[in-house]
Amino acid sequence: MFELNKHFRFESAHVLKYHTGKCGRPHGHSYELTVSLRSDTLCPEGSSTNMVMDFNDIATIVKPMIETYFDHHWINETLQCESPTAEFIAQWIFRYLKPRLPLLTRVTVNETTTSSVTYWE
């Protein structure tokens, strides 16, 4: 079995409406996103020979999502959520990407250098 991990970064702002601590105030994060794909087979021919999937092809699918919904966006608005926690974001990204990346198995969102959430189905 092979597992591919591709990492991305984006800056986003949000507020957690119901949080009674400091996350209840508008603020931003430098998020790190890891998308993980699994396969037990490799491409037999063509440009991706002996790859599960070309890392560049993964980026071609993920980057437009980041541009449209996450990077320098107010994600309460773009995700239409009153409380877009790291858990919510990881699940949202998984469900957005799965139809576009059928080999996707896990999405990990790092909200800070010490806090991350992994979502899979």
Give the catalytic positions in this structure: 23, 72, 111
Nearest approach, Cβ of residue 54 and Zn ion (Å):
33
* Window 18-47: contact mask with Zn ion (x via CB under 5 A): -----x------------------------
SS (H, E, C) the chain: CEEEEEEEEEEEEECCCCCCCHHHCCEEEEEEEEEEEEECCCCCCCCCCCCCCCHHHHHHHHHHHHHHHHCCEEHHHHCCCCCCCHHHHHHHHHHHHCCCCCCEEEEEEEEECCEEEEECC
Nearest approach, Cβ of residue 23 and Zn ion (Å):
5
**Nearer CB in complex with Zn ion: 5/30:** 30
Chain residues that interact with Zn ion, rule: CB under 5 A: 23
